[in-house]
Amino acid sequence: MSQEYVAGSCNIGTGEVRRRQVVALVGAVISATSLVGLLSSDASGSARLSLFAPLMIFSVGFIQSRKKFCLAYGFMGTFNFGKLGQISRVSDPIAKKADRKTALTILAQSIALALGLTLATLALPR
């Protein structure tokens, strides 16, 4: 794993990646327990659309941890490879632009994944 900032490619270190893995796990657990609740309560199929929010939490955490890139840091022009919460500023405007582009890509991928998973739950039998 890269332990240094690379514009548009890597803006978080090991501790920050682990934090995002935990977020993905929490989102997955909330999504799974919510789905079980919806299926066992005989809720309408459209109620499954409410799974989008926890699936979005999962998706954002998952994609950020896989890409080793924090979307919020990308939008803010910051990075962190030290202790958690110890962020540094990106000073190069070209690097900031690359980071924002990557952040937008991660956001779009997260929305697409969460939406796809949400729509997949609609195909499950009632």
- Distance between CA atoms of residues 63 and 21, nearest Å: 9
The 10 Å Cβ neighbour count of residue 71 is: 23
Q: Give the pLDDT confidence score for residue 125 in this predicted structure.
A: 87
Q: Give the pLDDT confidence score for residue 43 in this predicted structure.
A: 87
CB proximity list for 88: less than 8 A, separation 6 or greater? 5, 78, 79, 80, 82
Q: What is the pTM of this model?
A: 0.92
For the residues 57-61, what does the mean pLDDT come to?
Answer: 98
Q: Which of 40-44, 59-63, 67-71, 112-116 has the lowest mean pLDDT?
A: 40-44
Task: Give which of 27, 26, 51 is closest to 37, Cα–Cα.
Answer: 51
Q: Give the pLDDT confidence score for residue 42 in this predicted structure.
A: 82
H runs (alpha helix) in 10-125: 14-40, 52-67, 71-76, 93-122
49 class by beta-carbon count within 10 Å (0-12 exposed, 13-18 middle, 19+ buried): middle
The 10 Å Cβ neighbour count of residue 85 is: 9
User: Quick check: 2 pLDDT over 80?
Assistant: no
Q: What are the structural domain ranges in the chain? A: 14-122
For the residues 41-62, what does the mean pLDDT come to?
Answer: 95
Band of residue 17 on the pLDDT scale cut at 50, 70, 90: very high
